[in-house]
Amino acid sequence: MEEALVLYPSPPIGHLVSMVELGKLILTHRPSLSIHILIAASPYVAGKADKYMATVSADIPSIDFHHLPIVTPVSTNITHHEELTLEVLHLSKPHVHEELLNISKRYKIHGLVMDFFCTSGLSVATELDIPSYFFLTSGACFLAFFLHLPTLHQKTSKSFKDMKDHYLDIPGLPPLLATDLPNPFLDRDNQAYQHFLDFATQFPQASGIMINTFELLESRAVKAISDGLCVPNNRTPPISCIGPLIVADDKRGGSGKISPEDVHECLSWLDSQPSQSVVFLCFGSLGLFTKEQLWEIATGLENSGQRFLWVVRNPPSHNLKVAIKEQGDPDLDSLLPEGFLERTKERGYVVKSWAPQVEIVNHSSVGGFVTHCGWNSTLEAVYAGLPMVAWPLYAEQRLNRVALVEEMKLALSMNEYADGFERADEVEKKVRGLMESKEGKMIRERALAMKNEAKAALSEGGSSHVALSKLLESWKH
């Protein structure tokens, strides 16, 4: 009977891309394996994922996508993307069971590898006697917090949102403001909080946890987890740091409306810029800004005098920071200050909706990255040796900012106003600081050193290469 591994990512495309990269990496070690990826019906913009999966299927026949039946959330009033994701995945549980049964008729399944959003699949794997693994598309710092959540929950009766100036003591992390936790964790009366608390208590049941990181990047968090400090009253599953998993050739696509000519033009523009002179601003596949915030960013960039490449998307509806519906291309003239594009055309380039991020961060003309601190983007910057300005928007990005600024010292932090709004002078200050200041220079030096460590971790004999080899070897017994 042929051998197989089943991967189960959550719907956002960043999670899917990471899971596919994991499958590709495993195939380089064990080409005889068949990789099966379960796709829950996405509540998000689906066009990007469909286009991406078609490309993967054409390139790698060993990866097979299984589309689970569409499910309908009970509530139609869900606006937080985490709650929507959890609802879809919970309703998909019986379909996961059925699909695993079907695959097991033809293959020996070595394991079900789940995104942490997909913890509902753990009981299915247990029932079918399939080893279960988690793959963290976030870093070890987030995992340290997540494993420690049940302990934090027992220590206080308050919601974290009501502990505004309180610092949490989490093994392996620098002191963390309670309000820097991801939104779904802030209110203990919130349904999403209860889901994640339940997930955290289930994690110790897993056969192992793979993390998209490398040991030297988050050494303190990795050691705390491995030493069992984050789960004082239960077992800690073996962890394997196997990253950074980086998309070698960015084919994720945008809204499907970005022509190859536009993408090529953006890279051609970079070709004409001096080495390490351009600041790249991009805020992920889901991140959005209001028109007022876009105006402030534009003004700050103009006043900074720096060269820039900026990806601009349409403002959100209902004041959300996350895109959960299809968007058209923005009308730049109506969104940005009058004359901005004309005045900055010699040193700035604005791209509508999407740009080939991996190619851009690795371009020799790019010298800095203003990022939302999504973990995929963070790793892409680390692998490219780019210093960052951290501007978190949603999910675990505030926690990532603390790790980037305080622990890794690879980023400057935007100073956040109480309303979460950033003024033009703060944008100007941080962009200048990254590119011109002594602190920016020190961050750049550390970023270049970490780039070398990232490449070493993935090379034969490196920490990540060895960790994955050991895990795959254990599946033979």
Cα–Cα distance, 241 to 260 (Å, whole number): 36
Q: Which of 39-43, 72-76, 215-219 is predicted most confidently?
A: 215-219
- Contact between 286 and 375 (Cβ < 8 Å): no
φ, ψ for residue 228 (rounded to 5)? 80, 10
pLDDT of residue 84: 83
Q: Are residues 123 and 187 in the same domain?
A: yes
- Contact between 248 and 215 (Cβ < 8 Å): no
Reduced to 3 states, what is the DSSP secondary structure of residue 214? coil
pLDDT of residue 85: 86
Q: Are residues 167 and 316 in the same domain?
A: no
The burial class, CB within 10 Å (0-12 / 13-18 / 19+), for 252 is buried
Reduced to 3 states, what is the DSSP secondary structure of residue 144? helix
Q: Over the range 397-436, which residues count as b (16 or more CB within 10 Å of their CB) and which as e? A: bbbbbbbbbebbebbbbbeeeeeeebebebbbbbbbbbbe
DSSP secondary structure letter of residue 179: G
- Contact between 141 and 173 (Cβ < 8 Å): yes
Q: Residue 269 falls within a domain, yes or no?
A: yes
Q: Residue 221 falls within a domain, yes or no?
A: yes
Using one digit for the tens of pLDDT, what is the confidence trace for 156-170? 999 999 998 999 999
- Contact between 33 and 63 (Cβ < 8 Å): no
- Contact between 15 and 117 (Cβ < 8 Å): yes
Reduced to 3 states, what is the DSSP secondary structure of residue 56? helix
pLDDT at 304 over 70: yes
pLDDT of residue 253: 40
pLDDT of residue 250: 47
Using 50, 70 and 90 to split pLDDT, how confident is the model at 307?
very high
Q: What would the mean pLDDT of 251-279 be, rounded to a whole number?
A: 73
SS3 content of the chain, % helix, strand, coil (to 5): 45, 15, 40
Using one digit for the tens of pLDDT, what is the confidence trace for 330-382? 999 999 999 999 999 999 999 999 899 999 999 999 999 999 999 999 999 99
Range of the domain at 99: 2-247+457-474
Residue 273 neighbours by CB distance under 10 Å: 18
Tokens of 184: 């779904």
Q: What is the DSSP string of 245-299?
A: ---SS----SSS---HHHHHHHHHHHHTSPTT-EEEEE-TTTB---HHHHHHHHH
Q: Are residues 348 and 470 in the same domain?
A: no
- Contact between 312 and 351 (Cβ < 8 Å): yes
Residue with tokens 């996961």: 96
pLDDT of residue 434: 98
Selection from 83, 122, 91 nearest residue 324 by Cα: 83
φ, ψ for residue 29 (rounded to 5)? -90, -40
pLDDT of residue 316: 86
Q: Are residues 304 and 173 in the same domain?
A: no
Pairing status of strand 411-413 against strand 348-352: unpaired
Using one digit for the tens of pLDDT, what is the confidence trace for 56-100? 999 999 999 999 999 988 766 665 677 888 889 999 999 999 999
Q: Are residues 236 and 356 in the same domain?
A: no
Q: Residue 414 falls within a domain, yes or no?
A: yes
CA–chain centroid gap for 35, Å, is: 22
If one counts the domains in the chain, the total is: 2
pLDDT of residue 285: 76
Angle of helix 191-202 relative to helix 140-155, nearest 10 degrees, comes to 110
Q: Are residues 136 and 159 in the same domain?
A: yes
Q: Residue 167 falls within a domain, yes or no?
A: yes
Least confident range from 240-249, 265-274, 289-298, 441-450: namely 240-249
What is the reported pTM? Answer: 0.92
CA–chain centroid gap for 300, Å, is: 26
CATH number at residue 282: 3.40.50.2000
Using one digit for the tens of pLDDT, what is the confidence trace for 406-415? 999 999 999 9
Q: Over the range 359-396, which residues count as b (16 or more CB within 10 Å of their CB) and which as e? A: ebbbbebbbbbbbbbbbbbbbbbbbbbbbbbbbbbbbb
* Residues in contact with 388: Cβ distance below 8 Å, sequence separation at least 6, in sequence order: 368, 369, 370, 371, 373, 378, 381, 404, 410, 411, 412, 434, 443, 447
pLDDT of residue 73: 82
For residue 118, what are the CA distances in angstroms to 86, 96, 236, 357, 445? Answer: 8, 10, 19, 27, 38
Q: Are residues 133 and 206 in the same domain?
A: yes
Q: Are residues 290 and 426 in the same domain?
A: yes
Higher local confidence (pLDDT), 417 or 428 = 428
Question: What's the one-letter identity of residue 4?
Answer: A
Residue with tokens 């959960």: 324
For residue 336, what are the CA distances in angstroms to 29, 265, 306, 348, 415? Answer: 49, 21, 18, 13, 23
Q: What would the mean pLDDT of 418-445 be, rounded to a whole number?
A: 95
Q: Are residues 145 and 234 in the same domain?
A: yes
Residue with tokens 């695959």: 103
pLDDT at 251 over 50: no
Mean pLDDT of the chain: 92
Selection from 215, 210, 213 nearest residue 245 by Cα: 213
Q: Are residues 468 and 357 in the same domain?
A: no
Q: Residue 208 falls within a domain, yes or no?
A: yes
- The percentage of residues in the chain with a pLDDT greater than 70, rounded to a whole number, is 92
Q: What would the mean pLDDT of 227-254 be, rounded to a whole number?
A: 83
Q: Residue 253 falls within a domain, yes or no?
A: no
Q: Residue 255 falls within a domain, yes or no?
A: no
Q: Are residues 144 and 71 in the same domain?
A: yes
Q: Where are the beta strands (DSSP E) in 82-179?
A: 107-114, 132-136, 167-168, 176-177
Q: What would the mean pLDDT of 131-154 be, rounded to a whole number?
A: 97
Pairing status of strand 239-241 against strand 63-67: unpaired
* Residues in contact with 73: Cβ distance below 8 Å, sequence separation at least 6, in sequence order: 43, 84, 87, 88, 91
Q: Are residues 224 and 276 in the same domain?
A: no
DSSP secondary structure letter of residue 172: T
Least confident range from 131-135, 278-282, 299-303, 327-331: namely 327-331
Q: What would the mean pLDDT of 172-196 be, rounded to a whole number?
A: 95
pLDDT of residue 467: 98
* Residues in contact with 18: Cβ distance below 8 Å, sequence separation at least 6, in sequence order: 9, 135, 137, 212, 245, 376
Q: Residue 252 falls within a domain, yes or no?
A: no
